[in-house]
């Protein structure tokens, strides 16, 4: 049973990564490639349903809660917990995540200009029959189509290991890409506390490192509350 659960996790980890990308954007938490302002913090809750097109498994249902803090100009830090709500899954996808993100371009956050960022993402799948560590180097590219709609693409180089510090970093990597289109039902404001509601759809695919080359679609919804900007 333990081996079966580990194989399910490894072969379909890209689905789980889709929620972890909530630290980036795909789980509709307003987490685009853009980082928070220095000293700003944010709380977000979200729900995501993902379906792998290459197999007959039922859709996976995930819920997440994450916190972010602006460490410095162009740098922010996030932590996220995801819960596996899928019936009869026994919580095998429940995971703790943390990440550091660095905004590389459009540091003035001008509307209509692309934003590129990167960083490092760590995850721990803590189910007693699984216990796997994920180390990921992501690249995010976001573009604001309008005040209410944004798109974000991601590329991720991933290592799945038994230990926190991965060994043989060029051996058996997993390379994923995907994207998300998000619509903000309300934009909130920067001068005061106000929840921001969003819905979105996304796509994910694995270029290498998964037995069935998984790809699929996500449907997600969530809200974010940001602290007011310090001007």
Residues 46-66 pLDDT 10s: 887 877 666 656 777 888 888
Do the domain assignments include residue 130? yes
Percentage of the chain exceeding pLDDT 90? 19
Cβ neighbors of 73 (< 8 A, separation 6 or more) are 37, 38, 107
**Count of domains observed in the chain:** 1
Position 5 scores a pLDDT of 54
Do the domain assignments include residue 140? yes
Is residue 139 very low, low, confident or very high in pLDDT (cuts 50, 70, 90)?
very high
Position 142 scores a pLDDT of 93
Cβ neighbors of 10 (< 8 A, separation 6 or more) are 132, 160, 210
Chain centre distance of CA 190? 23
Extract the tokens encoding 131.
């216990």
Residues 213-231 pLDDT 10s: 567 777 888 888 888 876 5
Task: Tell the burial category of 10 from Cβ atoms under 10 Å away from its Cβ (0-12, 13-18, 19+).
Answer: middle
Q: How far is CA 176 from CA 117, 218, 225, in A?
A: 16, 15, 29
Do the domain assignments include residue 22? yes
Q: Which domain holds residue 33?
A: 2-226
Interval 126-140 mean pLDDT: 87
Do the domain assignments include residue 231? no
What's 213's domain CATH number?
A: 2.40.160
Q: What is the mean pLDDT of the chain?
A: 79
């Amino acid at each position: 049973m333990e081996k079966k659960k580990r194989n399910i996790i490894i072969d379909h980890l890209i689905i789980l990564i889709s929620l972890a990308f909530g630290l980036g954007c795909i789980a509709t938490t307003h987490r685009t490639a853009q980082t928070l302002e220095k000293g700003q913090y944010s709380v977000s809750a979200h729900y995501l349903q993902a379906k792998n097109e290459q197999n007959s498994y039922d859709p996976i249902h995930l819920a997440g809660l994450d916190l972010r803090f602006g460490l410095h100009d162009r740098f922010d830090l996030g932590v996220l917990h995801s819960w596996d709500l899928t019936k009869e899954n026994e919580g095998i996808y429940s995971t703790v995540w943390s990440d550091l993100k660095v905004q590389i371009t459009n540091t003035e956050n001008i509307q209509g200009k692309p934003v590129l960022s990167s960083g490092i993402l760590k995850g721990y799948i803590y189910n007693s029959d699984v216990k796997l560590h994920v180390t990921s180097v992501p690249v995010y590219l976001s573009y604001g189509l309008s005040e209410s709609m944004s798109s974000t693409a991601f590329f991720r180089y991933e290592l799945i290991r038994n230990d926190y510090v991965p060994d043989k970093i060029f051996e058996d990597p997993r390379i994923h890409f995907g994207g998300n289109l998000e619509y903000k039902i309300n934009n909130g404001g920067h001068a005061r506390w106000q929840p921001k509601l969003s819905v979105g759809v996304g796509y994910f695919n694995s270029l290498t490192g998964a037995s069935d080359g998984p790809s699929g679609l996500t449907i997600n919804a969530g809200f974010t509350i940001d602290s007011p900007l310090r001007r």
